[in-house]
Amino acid sequence: MSLRAEKAEISQTPRDDSLDASVAFLREGYTFVSSRCDRLGSDLFRTRLMLTPVVCMRGAEAAAIFYDGGRFTRVGAMPATILRLLQDVGSVQALDDAPHHHRKGMFLAMMTPPALQRMVAQFRAAWLSAVPRWGERQIVLQDEVSAILAEAAAAWAGVPLDPDRAPELTRQLVAMIEQTGSIGPANWWAQHLRNRAEHHWQDVIRAIRSGRAAAPEGSAADLIARHRDLDGEFLDETTAAVELLNVLRPTVAVARFVTFAALALHRHPQWRETFAGGGEELLRPFVHEVRRFYPFFPVIGGRARHDFVWQGHPFSKGDWVLLDLYGTNQDERLWPEPLSFQPERFVDWPGDPYTLIPQGAGDYATGHRCPGEWLTIALVEEAVRLLTRTIRYEVPAQDLTVALDQLPALPKSGFIMQKTQLLAA
Ligand code: HEM
Residue 81: the pLDDT is: 73
pLDDT of residue 288: 98
> Which of 95, 146, 325, 44 lies closest to 36 in space, CA to CA?
44
Task: Specify the residue with its C-alpha closest to ligand 1, atom 2.
Answer: 254
pLDDT of residue 126 exceeding 80, the answer is yes
Q: For 263-288, how does the pLDDT look when each residue is reduced to its tens digit (9 = 90+)?
A: 999 999 999 999 999 999 999 999 99
359 lines ligand 1 (CB under 6 A): yes
Best residue for ligand 1 mutational test, from 296, 370, 375, 381 (most atoms within 8 Å of Cβ): 370
Instruction: Pick the more confident residue, 52 or 80.
Output: 52
- Alpha carbon of 89 to ligand 1 centroid (Å): 15
pLDDT (0 to 100) of residue 4: 54
CATH number at residue 253: 1.10.630.10
Instruction: Give the H/E segment covering residue 54.
Output: strand 52-57
Distance 309 CA to ligand 1 centre (A): 28
Gap from CA of 246 to ligand 1 centroid (Å): 8
Residue 216 has what pLDDT?
96
Ligand 1: centre distance to CA 129 (Å): 28
Mean pLDDT for 87-113 is 94
CA torsion 65→68→71→72, rounded to 10°? 90
Q: Is the CB of 246 under 6 A from ligand 1?
A: yes
Q: Place 136 in a pLDDT band, splitting at 50, 70 and 90.
A: very high
Residue 302 CB less than 6 A away from ligand 1: no
Contact in structure between 154 and 160 (CB atoms under 8 Å) = yes
pLDDT band at 187 (very low <50, low <70, confident <90, very high): confident
Contact criterion met (CB below 8 Å) for 97 and 70: yes
Contacts of 79 (CB under 8 A, 6+ apart): 50
- CA 376 – ligand 1 centroid, Å: 10
Q: Is the CB of 156 under 6 A from ligand 1?
A: no
* For residue 86, pLDDT beyond 80: no
Nearest CA to ligand 1 atom 6: 359
Q: Is 223 in the pocket of ligand 1 (CB under 6 A)?
A: no
118-155 per-residue burial string, b: 16 or more CB within 10 A, e: under 16: bbbebbbebbbebbeebeeeebbbbebbbbbbbbbbbb
Distance CA 144, CA 102 (A): 36
The residue-averaged pLDDT of 133-146 equals 97
Given a cut of 80, whether residue 332 has pLDDT beyond it is: yes
Point out which residues pair with 392 in neighbouring strands.
421
96-124: average pLDDT: 98
Query: In which band, very low, low, confident or very high, does the pLDDT at 1 lie, cut at 50, 70 and 90?
Result: very low
Ligand 1 mean position to 176 CA, how many Å? Answer: 14
**Looking at residue 90, what is its pLDDT?**
86
Q: Residue 297 belongs to what domain range?
A: 3-422
**pLDDT computed for residue 18 by the predictor:** 85
Instruction: Specify the residue with its C-alpha closest to ligand 1, atom 33.
Output: 370
pLDDT of residue 193: 86
The pLDDT of 317-340, averaged and rounded, is: 98
Higher-confidence position of 343 and 193: 343
Does the CB atom of residue 295 touch ligand 1 within 6 A?
Answer: no
pLDDT of residue 2: 52
Relative to the CA of 104, which ligand 1 atom is closest? 41
Of residues 172 and 87, more confidence is placed in: 172
* Stretch 75-86: mean pLDDT: 79
- Alpha helices, DSSP H only, in 136-184? 141-156, 166-178
418 pLDDT exceeds 80?
Answer: yes
Q: In the predicted model, is pLDDT for residue 8 greater than 90?
A: no
Give the Cα separation of 290 and 294 in Å (integer).
6
List pLDDT tens digits, range 193-221: 888 988 999 999 999 999 999 999 999 99
132 has a pLDDT exceeding 70: yes
Percent of the chain scored above 70 by pLDDT? 97
Mean pLDDT of the chain: 94
Residue ID of nearest Cα to ligand 1 atom 1: 254
Confidence check: pLDDT of 365 > 90 = yes
- Among protein residues, the one with the nearest Cα to ligand 1's atom 16 is 368
Rounded distance between C-alpha atoms, residue 41 and residue 32, angstroms: 14
- Give the three-state DSSP class for 72: strand
- Which range (13-17, 360-364, 409-413) has the least confidence? 13-17
- For the CA of 296, the nearest atom of ligand 1: 5
**Does residue 180 register a pLDDT over 70?**
yes
pLDDT of 169 above 50: yes
Report which ligand 1 atom has the smallest distance to the Cα of 364: 41
Among 286, 298, 300, 292, which residue's Cα sits nearest to residue 352? 292
**Domain count for the chain:** 1
Q: 194, 209, 291: which is closest to 246 by C-alpha?
A: 194
pLDDT of residue 9: 52
